[in-house]
Amino acid sequence: MSDFSKHILVTGGAGFIGSHVIRLLVHKYHDYHVINLDKLTYAGNLENLKDLEDAPNYTFVKGDITDAEFILELFRDHDITDVIHLAAESHVDRSILNPMEFIMTNVVGTVVLMNAAKAYWSGNWNGHRFYHVSTDEVYGSLGETGFFTEETSYDPHSPYSASKASSDHFVRAYHDTYGLPVVISNCSNNYGSHQFPEKLIPLFIHNITNNKPLPVYGDGKYTRDWLWVNDHARAIDVIFHAGKNGSTYNIGGFNEWQNIDLIKVLCKVMDTKLNREPGSSEKLITYVKDRPGHDLRYAIDSTKLKEELGWEPSLQFEEGLEKTVDWYLANETWLNNVTSGNYKAYYETQYAQR
């Protein structure tokens, strides 16, 4: 008999959000065994979890969620009781260059995991949960007003958001058809430590540090709703434990920024932190060709999560941004390691035509 009360399979734990979720679970719940399954793609970095290597309630397994036989074996080997599914191809620009990988991992991979859960738990759903982590991008784009609620119709525009929307539909279908005990959350843009520097905030911190141009897509007037990654991890913890079976929860901090305004605040913080002349980082701003199918505005209404489960963000954006900048500046080796190799080749393809 195992000493653990749960064996939770967390997929994509070596990535940005997954590493924060794993750290929270491993520290907070000593009676849970947390199994991190990750393929270690360009975005997966075990350095993100170095501090947990010796934790007795943590195990890392390298593997691919699309490999059905291997996944079923893993359920058996570790007697998996619950899944928190984060593994995904997650970058919109990459999805435009190569949609197939997104369909394989985000859609097929999700179905493979649910098939294994369904087979291994074999209809005895008591004490089990399949938690699917999704994005607000499935709802498409808002005009200048309004918010996404859990009732907003899906209307994805990028291959990334279409693949996430598709996986959400499959998760609901497995609940409605087979009774799989699922819960889904759709979160806004995250920022914080350990994010791969292809996404806006870490990319621009890296470029400012190295005096490289800041490629602003289109007119820079696109709006995103930003949430500190640790607050997302806290929300996942709450929803995993208390969310209603078959339910969806939107996660967001009511924190909208037009890209260009956010970039200007970031530039100011960077000038101060790097002891540079005020205004010097802003000079790096370079307007480039727009992203095709670029969604104008995302804004999440997370009232349901607050009212039902009592979750609220813990941090103001300015404070979170400063903490984030401090982390990247203090972890230059991390940044240099991930910006070498594979990532560089991608960067050149992505920005060559702009």
Just list the catalytic residues: 136-137, 160
- Which of 17, 180, 233, 266 touches ligand NAD (CB under 6 A)? 17
- From the list ligand NAD, ligand TYD, none, partner contacted by residue 224 (C-beta under 5 to 8 A by kind): ligand TYD
Q: How far is the CB of 288 from ligand TYD (least distance, A)?
A: 7
User: Sign of dihedral through CA atoms 159, 102, 129, 49?
Assistant: negative
Say whether residue 256 binds ligand NAD (CB under 6 A): no
Q: Is 13 exposed, middle or buried (0-12, 13-18, 19+ CB in 10 A)?
A: buried
Q: How far is CA 163 from CA 42, 118, 191, 259, in A?
A: 19, 22, 22, 24
Contact 352, 93 (CB under 8 A): no
Structure tokens at 57: 């309630």
7-15, 174-182, 265-273, 286-294 -> range binding ligand NAD (CB under 6 A)? 7-15
Say whether residue 16 binds ligand NAD (CB under 6 A): yes
Q: How far is the CB of 156 from ligand NAD (least distance, A)?
A: 12
List of residues contacting ligand TYD (CB under 6 A): 92, 189, 199-200, 203, 215-217, 222, 224, 259, 291
Structure tokens at 93: 């620009």
Total residues at the site for ligand NAD (CB under 6 A)? 30
- From the list ligand NAD, ligand TYD, none, partner contacted by residue 225 (C-beta under 5 to 8 A by kind): none
Binding mask 139-178 for ligand NAD (x = CB under 6 A): -------------------------x--------------
Binding mask 58-87 for ligand NAD (x = CB under 6 A): ------xxx-------------------xx
Contact 172, 235 (CB under 8 A): no
Say whether residue 40 binds ligand NAD (CB under 6 A): yes
Residues 6 or more apart from 255 whose CB is under 8 A from it?
A: 188, 225, 226, 227, 313, 317
Q: Is 96 exposed, middle or buried (0-12, 13-18, 19+ CB in 10 A)?
A: middle
- Which of 41, 95, 250, 259 touches ligand NAD (CB under 6 A)? 41
Contact 301, 249 (CB under 8 A): no
Pick the closer one to ligand TYD by CB: 7 or 199: 199
